[in-house]
Amino acid sequence: MGSNCFKSNANCVLLFICFLQLAFTLTRQVFDFFGHIWASILFNFFAILVTICGCFGGCEKRNAFLYIYCIWQIITFFWNVFIICFYLEIGSLFNRDKDLHILNFGTGSRNWFESNGPLCQPIFNVSNVNKRFFSLFKPTHVEGCLLYYFIIETIQAAIQIILAIIAFFVSYMLIYYSNHKSKLMFSFFKLIMTNSYFKQKQSHVVVSLHLHHCLRTVLRCDSR
C-alpha cells in the first residue's frame, strides 16, 4: 500500500516536472527561432519529443520510455552546463561573440535577446545595415538593459538544470520501484507454483499408497 502511494505521488511529480519542462522548452524554442540559433533549436526539438515520451511512460507505466527520459536528463544537464559556460565565458573556454558560430552553425545570426532584451536600446551602424534586418546583426552597442542576453540565457539554462536533476531522480525511482515490484511478483508466482507442485506431488503419493493398500487387501482376500 505504501509503495503504491509513493509511486502514485512520484507519477504526479513526474507529470508536473514534464509540464514545466515543456513550458520552458517551448518558450525557449520560440526565442531561439527568432534569433536563428540552430543548435539550440535542434536540441529543443528532441527535448520536446523526449519529454512527451516521459509523460507517456509515467502515465502508462512503460519503463522503456522512462529509461529514455531518464538518460535524456543527463544529456540535458551537460548541454545546459555548456550553455552557461558559453554565455558567461567561464574559464576562458569560449568567447560568446567570436564562438557564436557553434550555436548558429555559421549563419551569422545573433541571439534575439541581445537586441530585444528588457529595456535594451541597441545601437547599429545604420550606414551598413538595413533597418529591416537589425535583429539579425550584432549591434555596435547596447545600453539600458535590465538583463543582458547572456544573463537571460544563463537563467533559463539554470532552470533547465534544476528540472533535469529532479526529473532524473523521480524517473529513476519509478523505474526502480517498477522493477522491484516485478521481481516480487515473479518470486510470489514462483512460490505459489512451487507449493502447488509439492501439494500435487504429495497428493499423488497419498493416492498411490492408498491404491497399494487396497491392492494388498484384495490379494489377501483372494488368497483366503
Query: DSSP per residue over 78-142, as a string?
Result: HHHHHHHHHHHTGGGS--TTTTTHHHHTTS----HHHHHSTT-EEE--TTTS-GGGGGGS--SEE
Write down the pLDDT at residue 136.
53
| pLDDT exceeds 90 at position 71 | yes
Write down the pLDDT at residue 188.
42
Mean pLDDT on 101-105: 83
Mean pLDDT on 135-142: 65
Looking at the whole model, is its pTM more than 0.85? no
Write down the pLDDT at residue 212.
56
Can you say whether the dihedral through the CA atoms of 147, 153, 156, 161 is positive or negative? Answer: negative
Better-scored residue on pLDDT, 28 or 211 = 28
| pLDDT exceeds 50 at position 223 | yes
Give tens-digit pLDDT for 13-58. 899 999 999 999 999 999 999 888 899 999 999 999 999 999 988 8
